[in-house]
Amino acid sequence: MMLLKNIFPFASGKDDKYFDKVPYTVLNNEALKKKSKVTIVIPVYNAEKYLIKAIDSVIVQTFGFAQITVILVDDGSGDKSKAMLKKFADLYQNIVVVYLEENTGTPAFPRNLGIHLANSTYLMFLDADDWLDHDAIRQLYELMEEAKTDYAVGKTIQVSSKTEKLVGRYESCKVRKSVSPYFIPHIFYHLGPTARMMRLSFLKDRHIRFPEMKYAEDKQFFIDVLTQVGTISTTTAPIYYINRFSDNVSLTRQTDIIEKMDTNITVLKYVMEKNLPPEEEKMIVNRLVEFDSITRLFNRKHFVKSEDRQAYFAKFEEALAVFSSYNRPYSLGETIKKPLNKHYYSLLENKEYERVAALAEWATSGGESWVEEKDGLPYTIAKLQDGTLIPIEIPVQAKVLSENQSGKNVSFTINLSGHLNPTIQAVELQNRDFLEDVFIIDEDIQQTGNEVTLTFSKKSLSFLEKGKYILSLRYDDYESVMVEKDSDDKYHIEGNDRTFILYQTNKGNLSLMVK
């Protein structure tokens, strides 16, 4: 063991005083003198239950562990984590362990120190209770090398004891090479450290650093990254698994929603001070207001159950006041996109707080509703507990008008309706049992106005394995709509060793089964 203190040329300069404030001890510091291809930075705090799985997921990478440096920064753990880290450092020379003498209370300092010490071409972050897909690093590395970008991102999957959930599907719905992040409308919605690789020199040259906040530090960090990076690349490959098992109590889960709003407001001020071009700023403001200050604040059961709803309204008013204090050529209201959130925003802006609570109760409890057409457009009519009816726009509906089997082909003519007029780009097939498996069929689709014809054949479906698939129509790259099917007629397409069955689900949607 030794105290490592500014002994490398790549770890010196104006950051020295910042990293001197918390003394640290390093194991296997010799590994930092040799440049590797990829560094994985893992902050550790009382992570004994999951630490082995996290580190093992890096050791078994198809990329080759010898080309990777792991920097594990222990933030004053009080469990067995320190001893476990020592064993890993003894076993592997390219596993660097850093012991901080004091707990910093946030992953920010450990991650910043990891960036500071790293000596590699690329860098990734991994939380000590999560794990990487075995092919994660190879997928991102090869994409970065080919596209020559400073940032690449893939698929993040959130895992619990009951379900798996895809996080940030817009950033992993298709392969993109060297595109502007502003080309992806919701790119600022998922701003955690998961499933992304960055060029280390890009971070160091621009001194991009995590702010030391209990919450939202990664949000501000990746806003800095995305607003400075120029172009990014994306892949559909599964990269990162987030641990949301019930026995894992993360810092995020321990943070009160009002505390979270305090840090969100801090980030909102930070963004407004950047004076970005309006169209770029609007994308970030949309995330901080519509997602953080409306959806996460009000459209949740914690708000409905709260005995202090006024604290929620006060925080929203504070966010509103922050935005209003800057002279912008656009209104906050025009950044709100989702139909339900437009109603929340209108009620909040007019301080109709009782109606906000009633709408939240309806939305979070599956309240009474039905679909009506007005002026030829569909709306979900929400009936609140006080009897108020609120018409909520339906962006897109898809319904089968006719269905036909001719020889070995099955065709469906589908009518699109709603407040959007999308161009259908593909049929999306999501494996019901394996969230990682999403397949796209972008051939045999014909669209004229609001009428779409889908044709399925043995050839178009031959690549599918046996299983059940959720079928939907994809538009705007990552948005999708399921297709309503009124009849219970089934259609069989015989393959060489499989049968493809198109049928109506119990919920009345068109779906696919492969036997």
pLDDT confidence of residue 278: 96
CA distance 233 to 172: 10
- 373 and 420 share a domain? no
- 365 and 466 share a domain? no
- 386 and 353 share a domain? yes
pLDDT confidence of residue 11: 40
The DSSP secondary-structure symbol of 30 reads G
Single out the residue in 217, 234, 250 at which a domain terminates.
250
Angle between helices 217-228 and 257-274 (to 10 degrees): 20
- 67 and 205 share a domain? yes
Are the beta carbons of 315 and 265 closer than 8 angstroms? yes
DSSP output for 87-138: HHHHH-TTEEEEEESS--SSSHHHHHHHHHH--EEEEEE--TT-EE-TTHHH
Q: Is residue 403 part of a domain?
A: yes
Single out the residue in 213, 231, 250 at which a domain terminates.
250
- 362 and 410 share a domain? no
User: Is residue 277 exposed (0-12), middle (13-18) or buried (19+ Cβ within 10 Å)?
Assistant: exposed
Domain total of the chain: 3
CATH number (domain holding residue 56): 3.90.550.10
Residues 6 or more apart whose CB falls under 8 angstroms from that of 77 comprise: 44, 45, 46, 47, 48
pLDDT confidence of residue 17: 78
CA distance 351 to 255: 27
The residue among 337, 226, 339, 342 whose CA lies nearest residue 286 is 337
- 191 and 203 share a domain? yes
pLDDT confidence of residue 244: 85
Residues of the chain with pLDDT under 70: 1-16, 246-255
CA distance 149 to 146: 8
